[in-house]
Chain A
Amino acid sequence: MSEHSENNDYLSLHQLSLHIKDAIEGNFMQQIWVVAEIAAMSVNQGSGHCYLELVEKNERTLLAKMRANIWSFKLQNILGKFFQVTGSPLQQGMKTLLLVEVQYHAVYGTSLNIVGVDPSYSLGELARRKREIIDRLEVEGLIEQNKKLSFPLVPQRIALISSETAAGFEDFVNQLSNNPYGYHLELKIFPAVMQGDKTESSVLQALSKIAAKKDAFDVVVITRGGGSSVELSAFDSYELGKAIALFPLPVLTGIGHERDESVADLVAYKKLKTPTAVAEFLISAFVTFDEMLIDAKQRVKELMEAQLLKEQVRVKDASNVITRKSQAYIAKRRLQLSKVSRDLQEGAVKYTLVKQRALDQRKMKVSLETSRLLKQREYQIKTVQQAVLVSSATFVHKKQHNIALLAAKVALLDPAKVVARGYTLTYIRGKVLTSTQDLKLGDLLVTQFKDGKVESKITEL
């Protein structure tokens, strides 16, 4: 070391950097086309210069990395040209073909001054990348995933991912809210950045917010006003494509690009060109359902009427049968009954005759028997009568005889007879005097004789 210092055999850092600058810039006198990926990119607000970090990498490792810049006076030109061709801004993550000047600065080191860009390279690169994404989604079976969902008959509750500042946003909302049929649609807006490099993450974020309350919605709409001039590349993302494909609700896109179809469009349930077309599609689902309802109503009406008619006929038939059959039944039974009744009558007559005859015979027998008995009794009575007669005559005779005896006896006792035989009867005061007991001196006595009466006075007792 000391040897070098003694001989003044060294350079200052600045001297060295000047050598390097000479060496480098001497070797890169001309502008060079270089392919590089933009790893980072930002514009200094004060100076308007754009600072980039360019890289090259294979699958795992970083092969090269270099700073680059676009001076402000070139910036608008480069960006405008790039956008015009690719439909996408020059941005981080892009593979680009750049026209550069190699620069060396003593303080800042090596850097590339970008003076031009070949957008067609990026375009091809974008297309290739998009192809890759689509292939991958296809392999993973995600392209048809969202399309397999059944679309709601009435997509009434709509989760809208859009930017309220985006062109056509108001039109879309108005078109839905003031539809000519007066259908009521519930629109819930999930604001998202719809252009620039924040688009992908912003839309993904909105999707996950909706997924968290997926039961509150029928359908998801991603819209952005636009047309061909608007960048589409944010919607050519694998992550966004996968998120849409696997979303539990049908996703409709209306991210507005006339010519091209983004990955998001490809995996969506249905891709529509414009927000207006989305609104029309939603309204047409309502109209279709409405028509279905009208048809159904008509069919219900017809079926009901047919059924009612059928049932009426059924009841009427039953009623007729019952009337007819029960009448016939009664008639039949009546016939049976009258036959039975006739039989009964005949039977009864016959029975009566038989009984009558038997009765007659009995009567005759009774009559004969009676007269026989009567005669018998008559005879008996007569016999008795006779006997009575005889015995009573005898009795009377006997009594007569007795009486005659008595009479004779009586006649013997008659005072007159007694007197006649020479006896007298003495009376006092009209009565026969049988004792002297009651006699008083002076009493008058009458004595009856056979040939007269004599009055005498008691003079002595």
Chain B
Amino acid sequence: MTKKKSGYAAAIDELEAIVLKIEGEEVDVDELAENVKRALELIKTCNLKLKNTEEEVSRILKEIGE
């Protein structure tokens, strides 16, 4: 569950896999908290990455705009 992946694509893939699993009710209760915890971590990661990307992009765009 806590396998260490890196990169946005890996994170969102894992997140959506967890969503599918939870949606399909394939998780044990024991695993649910772990899954949700992991999912929240991933959401945080994804959001952070998106936010950073957004800032980076606008910074770059601004830079080449000058």
Contact residues of A with B, CB < 8 Å?
297, 300-301, 304-305, 308, 311-312, 314-315, 318-319, 321-322, 325-326, 329-330, 333
Q: How far is the CA of A305 from the CA of B65 in the complex (A)?
A: 16
Q: Closest approach, in angstroms, between the C-beta of A150 and any C-beta of chain B?
A: 26
Whether B36 lies near A321 (C-beta < 8 A) is: no
A314 contacts which chain B residues (CB < 8 A)? 12, 16
Question: Chain B contacts of A304 at CB under 8 A?
Answer: 53, 57
In chain B, residues 10-30, which have Cβ atoms closer than 8 Å to a Cβ of chain A? 12, 15-16, 18-19, 22-23, 25, 27, 29
Q: Residue-by-residue, is B22-66 near A (CB-CB < 8 Å gives 1, otherwise 0)?
A: 110101010010011001100100110010011001000100110
Cβ-defined contact, A311 with B16, below 8 A = no
Say whether A312 contacts B50, CB under 8 Å: yes
Query: A319 vs B42: C-alpha distance in the bound complex, in angstroms?
Result: 10
| Chain B minimum-CB-distance residue to A320 | B19
On chain B, the residues within 8 Å of A305 by CB distance are 57
A to B CB contacts below 8 Å, 18 in the list: A297-B61, A305-B57, A308-B57, A314-B16, A315-B12, A315-B15, A315-B47, A318-B18, A318-B19, A318-B39, A322-B19, A322-B39, A325-B23, A326-B22, A326-B32, A326-B36, A330-B29, A333-B29
Contact indicator A321/B19 (Cβ below 8 Å)? yes
Among A297, A315, A325, A333, contact of B43 (Cβ-Cβ < 8 Å)? A315
A319 to B43, CA, bound (A): 7
Shortest beta-carbon distance, B21 to chain A, in Å?
10
- How far apart sit A325 and B24, CA to CA, in the bound complex (Å)? 9
Q: Is the interface of B mostly helix, strand, loop or mixed?
A: helix
B22 near A322 (CB under 8 angstroms)? yes
Cα A308 to Cα B16 in complex, Å, equals: 17
CB pair A311–B50 under 8 Å, yes or no, is yes
Q: How far is the CA of A300 from the CA of B27 in the complex (A)?
A: 41
Report how far A305 CA is from B61 CA in the complex, Å.
11
Specify which chain B residues have a CB less than 8 angstroms from the CB of A322 in the assembled complex: 18-19, 22, 36, 39-40, 43
The chain B residue with its CB closest to the CB of A311 is B50
* Cβ 8 A contact of B53, one of A308, A319, A326, A330: A308
Question: In the complex, what distance in Å separates the CA atom of A441 from the CA atom of B64?
Answer: 164
Q: How far is the CA of A379 from the CA of B45 in the complex (A)?
A: 90
CA distance A329 to B31 in the complex (A): 12
Q: Are B23 and A318 in contact (CB under 8 A)?
A: no
Question: Are B16 and A329 neighbours in the complex by a CB distance under 8 Å?
Answer: no
